[in-house]
């Protein structure tokens, strides 16, 4: 606004000088007007220089600000990557494992008070899966649910039912379980035994290799196999 006003004043003064010259007016009067005009123009130019300098400063500050933003974005991305990496490490470190997994078939004796390991399919009364759940000071203590999937030699999993009540989630999928057991985990290693009592010998106890796969917190912690003749 102010610069455009000065533009108008300078133009008006220049026009007045032109008219004085045209009328062959007094030289002193023309010189006075010229000096006034020169001073005004110089002031105008100084103000323009000032504005150009301010503009340069603003451009430089803007460039610096953009650089700061880029650096901040890079730092944020770096921190997010580091946080993700640390989270993955903690998650990995907090996972439980199963050791010394033994899967076998047994025959019940003395009215079910004793067990005898058998290899013949015709003699099986129970499938047993025993293992040691690892010690882990990083994992959260509390109730844990152990799941076991027992697969026959043909790959069919022995299940109690095919509804949601007999399933669990693992890797975004619903899986049917054979055996389920709740335990209290106190960060110390503990021995666990899971039993599947054979109800239909012809369907459940067949010849071939059986697989037992163990899960806790939705991930696989180990597996074992055994053979029936």
Cα–Cα distance between 58 and 178 in angstroms, integer?
Answer: 71
- From residue 178, alpha-carbon distances to 38, 52, 161, 197, 209 in Å are 101, 81, 9, 10, 17
- pLDDT bracket for residue 207 (50, 70, 90): very high
State the residue for tokens 């180990």. 222
Task: Summarize the confidence of residues 172-189 as an average pLDDT.
Answer: 95
- From residue 193, alpha-carbon distances to 43, 101, 109, 218 in Å are 96, 10, 18, 19
User: Does the structure show a pLDDT above 90 at 24?
Assistant: no
* Mean pLDDT value across the chain: 84
Asked if residues 197 and 180 have their Cβ atoms less than 8 Å apart, the reply is: no
What proportion of the chain, given as a percentage, has pLDDT over 90? 48
pTM above 0.95, yes or no: no
pLDDT digits (tens, 9 = 90+) for 31-66: 777 777 777 767 666 777 777 787 778 777 777 767
User: Does the structure show a pLDDT above 60 at 3?
Assistant: no
Neighbours of 212 (CB within 10 A): 26
Residue 145: what are its φ and ψ, rounded to 5°? -110, 120
| Listed ranges 27-36, 120-129, 157-166; the one with the highest mean pLDDT | 120-129
Compute, in degrees rounded to 10, the torsion defined by CA atoms 58, 64, 67, 69: -70
Task: Summarize the confidence of residues 83-106 as an average pLDDT.
Answer: 81
Task: Summarize the confidence of residues 128-140 as an average pLDDT.
Answer: 93
For the chain, how far is it from start to end, CA to CA, in angstroms? 101
């Amino acid at each position: 606004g102010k610069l455009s006003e000065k533009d108008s004043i300078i133009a008006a003064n220049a026009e007045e000088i032109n008219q004085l010259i045209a009328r062959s007016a007094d030289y002193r009067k023309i010189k006075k007007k010229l000096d006034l005009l020169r001073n005004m123009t110089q002031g105008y130019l100084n103000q323009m220089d000032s504005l150009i300098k301010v503009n340069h400063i603003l451009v430089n500050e803007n460039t610096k600000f953009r650089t700061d933003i880029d650096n901040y974005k890079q730092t944020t991305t770096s921190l997010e990557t580091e946080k993700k990496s640390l989270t993955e490490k903690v998650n990995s470190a907090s996972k439980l494992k199963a050791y010394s997994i033994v899967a076998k078939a047994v025959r019940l004796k003395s009215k079910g008070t004793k067990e005898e390991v058998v290899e013949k399919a015709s003699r099986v009364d129970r499938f047993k899966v025993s293992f040691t759940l690892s010690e882990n000071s990083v994992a959260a203590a509390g109730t844990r649910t152990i799941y076991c999937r027992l697969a026959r030699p043909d790959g069919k999993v022995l299940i109690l039912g095919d509804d949601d009540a007999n399933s669990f989630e693992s890797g975004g999928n619903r899986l049917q379980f054979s055996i389920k057991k709740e335990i209290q985990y106190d960060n110390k290693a503990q021995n666990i035994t899971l039993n599947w009592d054979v109800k239909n010998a012809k369907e459940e106890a067949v010849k071939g290799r059986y697989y037992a796969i163990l899960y806790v917190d939705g991930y696989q912690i180990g597996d074992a196999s055994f053979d029936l003749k």
